[in-house]
């Protein structure tokens, strides 16, 4: 189980100057870096979740009728968002998140 604070995150210590010292669960600098990491994560999440909400519920449901006045090939636009577009957007969102977090993990030495 992962519940004991063992001394095994030695690998991370060489990778970033701000990563915590090995013993005692991280020093002051480590905590500050971890807080910055968490804040960046929350900011990114807020942006992505806003898109997650607006596209299906806004474009696909609430504004579907006004959008249906426009067309994308044979699709009324609102209908397209509801049955196609939203799903593509969901995929792009999780892809952006995974890529961005890979960089963020690396910058903060928490990978």
The binding site for other proteins (CB under 8 A) comprises: 1-9, 11-12, 25, 34, 37-38, 41, 45, 48-49, 52, 56-57, 60-62, 64-65, 68, 72-76, 78-80, 82-84, 86-88, 90-91, 93-95, 97-98, 101-102, 105, 109-111
CB of 83 to other proteins, least distance (A): 4
Nearer CB in complex with other proteins: 21/87: 87
CB of 23 to other proteins, least distance (A): 13
Q: What percent of the residues of the chain are helix, what percent strand, and what percent coil, each to the nearest 5? A: 70, 5, 25
Residue 49 CB neighbours (<10 A) = 12
CB of 62 to other proteins, least distance (A): 7
The 3-state DSSP class for residue 61 equals helix
Rounded CA gap, 111 and 98, in Å?
Answer: 13
How far is residue 71 CA from its own chain's centroid? 31
């Amino acid at each position: 189980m992962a519940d004991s604070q063992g001394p095994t995150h030695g690998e991370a210590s060489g990778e970033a100057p701000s990563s915590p010292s090995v013993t005692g669960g991280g020093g002051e600098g480590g905590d500050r870096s971890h807080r910055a990491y968490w804040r960046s994560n929350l900011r990114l999440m807020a942006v992505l979740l806003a898109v997650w909400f607006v596209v299906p519920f806004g474009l696909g449901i609430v504004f579907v009728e006004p959008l249906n006045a426009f067309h994308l090939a044979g699709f009324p636009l609102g209908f397209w968002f509801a049955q196609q577009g939203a799903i593509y957007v969901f995929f792009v969102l999780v892809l952006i998140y995974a890529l961005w977090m890979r960089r963020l993990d690396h910058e903060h030495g928490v990978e």
